[in-house]
Amino acid sequence: MLSAKQLERLEAHLAEKFAEKVEIASASRISMGQSRAMYVLEFTAGPRPRLVLRIEQFGLLGSDSRDEVLVMRALHANGYPVADVLDYEPSNEILGQPFFVMDFIEGTSVYQPESLGPYVESLARLHAADPDTLGVDFFERPAGKRDAALSQVERWYRVYRNNLIGEPSPLVEEAAQWLRNRAPETERISLVHGDPGPGNYLHEDGTLRALVDWEFTHLGDSDEDWAFLICIRGAGLMDEDAWVAYIADRVGVKLDRERLRYWIAFNLFKGACIDQTALGIYVRGDTRAPNLLAIGTCVHLSALKQLAGTVL
Amino acid sequence: MTLPVNPDVETILDSCIETLRDVVLPNVEGQWPRYSADLLVGSLEYAKQLLGDDLNAKRRAELAAAVDEVRTLVASESEPHWAEALATDSPFEAASRLLVAGQDHPGAIADGVRGILHPVLNSQLDAEFARAIGLFGAFARNMAAS
């Protein structure tokens, strides 16, 4: 939790940024989001009654806030349902880790069936947009036809190797090579959310309010997102056949099953890789929150079991 | 003054688990504290599962035996990648390189390598996951509710 000293420093920092008096009445940590520590800030003085604070956690899950903030700002400016980022502090000086502050958006992330259609439409709209018109040229664009897949495999493989505790996992190493050898071609480059599905959007009375958690967003293959939705965040809602039919019916996207299999394997691989970062942070004592132990052990093992069962 | 007999670690962990689960957790308010308390119950259950034998040494020995079996299988192969994969003291590194080589050089030998290594690795994976199942349950419960 945030200490009194941290809150004091945050108040002073925000007062300077917003050029007005800021008084924080409370800071409540919420369990939404694993990669960042998330707090709802309530104010007795400041530009808004409530804001959301999102703090990095020592590289947990292998991403940083820089690109996340840039893409959120770009999408917000383009009218997408994304919270407005009011302040980004890239240094460790105020809270010990980089953080940003964004608008509080009313709604819930708890899944309700009537929210799914608007969400899937919004995701399809994100994929259909021309990235060149969105102001996201800070993202590296895959150069070759297979680079949308290969660059992502190498990105997360590096995260895995850089965060190893002890020795390599032979099944992860084998899966990485399986993915390299079968990387599909991507005809059209899209903005890929990277972590889509229930739990990562806010809705209210059947209306989509915002898409959240943009730390994995990149330019790549939109099938990566559909696979993630089907096999991870949406796996409990319907089976793969039903998902493929639903997506085709709702937004007209016809998923190729062989490509889908690849991207499902990729997402399980990515999960296994990023989960390794949590164990390192926990073991080193950077932060000892028990969710990190869970992510670094059983969540990692669960992803690896599914991955091995899928492709090896 | 010393205790004639110390209480064993498992008993203390059981007491912590029961008290956290039955006394503390129902009375915790706030999303993050409740989530953390639920995960602590799972963490303690996981810790209990890790008591006893040196599981790291056991896993290493099992894998080393499997790698030795592969060594026999590929001993007469002239392709250099199998021998290169085995040129390390670590069974984890050797198994990794062997399986990667198997992906790059499909065939009967690659199938044989996988046939030796996969059962050992998958069995270890299943056992590891089973030890952490309480923690996984707590994590999944709270993910579904957020």
pLDDT tens for chain A, 312 residues: list them. Answer: 899 999 999 999 999 999 999 999 999 998 666 788 999 999 999 999 999 999 998 888 888 899 999 999 999 999 999 999 999 999 999 999 999 999 999 999 999 999 999 999 999 999 999 999 999 999 999 999 999 999 999 999 999 999 998 899 999 999 999 999 999 999 999 999 999 999 999 999 989 999 999 999 999 999 999 999 999 999 999 999 999 999 999 999 999 999 999 999 999 999 999 998 999 899 988 888 899 999 999 999 999 999 999 888
Q: Is A22 exposed, middle or buried (0-12, 13-18, 19+ CB in 10 A)?
A: buried
- Mutation target vs B (from A26, A30, A31; most B CBs, 10 A cutoff): A31
Does B124 touch chain A if contact means CB atoms closer than 8 Å? no
* Touching B: A residues 169-208, CB under 8 Å: 169-171, 173-174, 176-178, 181, 199
A248 at interface of B, judged by CB pairs closer than 8 A: no
Chains A and B: how many Cβ contacts under 8 Å?
Answer: 113
Distances from the Cα of A58 to the Cαs of A240, A266, B104, in angstroms? 35, 24, 36
User: What does the alpha-carbon distance between residue A17 and residue A13 come to, in Å, rounded to a whole number?
Assistant: 6
User: Hey, what amino acid is at B70?
Assistant: V
Ranking A63-72, B36-45, B82-91, B134-143 by mean pLDDT, the lowest is B134-143
**Cβ-contact A60, A277 below 8 angstroms:** yes
On chain A, the residues whose CB falls within 8 A of the CB of B36 are 289-291
Contacts of residue A53, defined as CB under 8 A and 6 or more positions apart, other chains included, come to: A10, A27, A38, A39, A40, A41, A99, A100, A101
- Closest residue by Cα to residue A206 from A297, A119, A277: A119
Q: Please tell me if residue B10 touches chain A, with a CB cutoff of 8 Å.
A: no
A61 vs A68: CA distance, rounded Å? 13
* Other CB atoms within 10 Å distance of the CB of residue A77: 12
Nearest to A2 by CA among A33, A42, A44: A42
Confidence category of residue B1, pLDDT binned at 50, 70, 90: low
A14, A36, A72, A138, A286 from A94: Cα distances, Å:
10, 16, 22, 26, 17
What tokens does A295 get? 């992510």
Three-class SS state of A85: strand
Give the one of B90, B129, B146 whose C-beta lies nearest to A305's C-beta: B129
Contacts of B132 in chain A (CB under 8 A): 297-298, 301
Q: Check: CB of residue B129 under 8 Å from CB of residue A171.
A: no
* Interchain proximity A295–B139, CB inside 8 Å: yes
pLDDT for the residue A33: 66
Dist CA A284 CA A279 (whole Å): 8
d(CA A248, CA A235): 17
DSSP B137: H
Cross-chain residue pair A305–B125, CB shorter than 8 Å: yes
- Check residue B40 and give its pLDDT: 96
Instruction: Tell me the residue type at A45.
Output: A
Q: What beta strand segments (E) does chain A contain? A: 23-30, 36-45, 50-56, 85-89, 99-103, 190-192, 201-204, 207-211, 218-220
pLDDT, average across residues B13-29: 95
pLDDT for residue B145: 63
List the one residue out of A54, A52, A159, A62 whose CA is nearest residue A105: A52
Q: What is the 3-state secondary structure (H, E, C) of A216-241?
A: CCEEECHHHHHHHHHHHHCCCCCCHH
Q: Which of A7-16, A48-57, B3-12, B128-137 shows the lowest mean pLDDT across its residues?
A: B3-12
Are A174 and B129 inside 8 Å of each other by CB? Answer: no
Which of B28-32, B67-71, B97-101 shows the lowest per-residue confidence on average (mean pLDDT)? B28-32
Contacts of B123 (CB under 8 A, 6+ apart): none
* Cβ separation B40–A290 shorter than 8 A: yes
* Cα distance between residue A174 and residue A187, in whole Å: 27
- The two structure tokens encoding residue A234: 């949406």
User: Is the Cβ–Cβ distance between A180 and A153 less than 8 Å?
Assistant: yes
Are residues A203 and A115 in contact, defined by beta-carbon separation less than 8 angstroms? yes
B122 touches chain A (CB under 8 A): yes
Best A293, A299, A310, A311 residue to mutate vs chain B (most B CBs within 10 Å)? A293
- Residue A180 Cα, gap to closest chain B Cα (Å): 10
Closest CA to A32 of A83, A93, A89, A76: A83
Q: Which long-range contacts (CB under 8 A, 24 or more apart) does A48-51 make?
A: A48/A103, A48/A104, A50/A104, A51/A86, A51/A101, A51/A102, A51/A103, A51/A104
Contacts of B133 in chain A (CB under 8 A): 298
Question: How many C-beta atoms lie closer than 10 Å to residue A159's C-beta?
Answer: 18
Mean pLDDT confidence for B127-132: 96
